[in-house]
Amino acid sequence: MTDRYLSVDQVAELLGTTARFPRRLIEERRIRYVKLGRHVRIPESAVEEFIQSRTVEPIRLRRTTLRRVA
């Protein structure tokens, strides 16, 4: 399986954030990354895993009838 390696700016654009957010994820080691000399690259699969692990599914509530109290 070949994985695309993204720059910090590309990850920020993908997530819709500034570059500061992916840099913080890297610094706190909350996302996998590869260091190539002075360059940092994040595998596309790591971004997908990060998004998947932070996704919150909605709760299905049962419909209840609202009754008016007289």
Q: What separation in angstroms does the CA of 1 have from each of 40, 44, 46, 54?
A: 21, 12, 14, 24
Instruction: Count the Cβ atoms, other than its own, within 10 Å of residue 59.
Output: 5
Instruction: Put the strands of the sheet holding 5-6 in their side by side order.
Output: 5-6, 39-43, 34-36
pTM equals 0.77
Over its C-alpha atoms, the chain yields an Rg (Å, rounded) of: 19
pLDDT one-digit tens code per residue, 3-37 = 899 999 999 999 999 999 999 999 999 999 999 99
Binned at pLDDT 50, 70 and 90, residue 63 comes out as confident
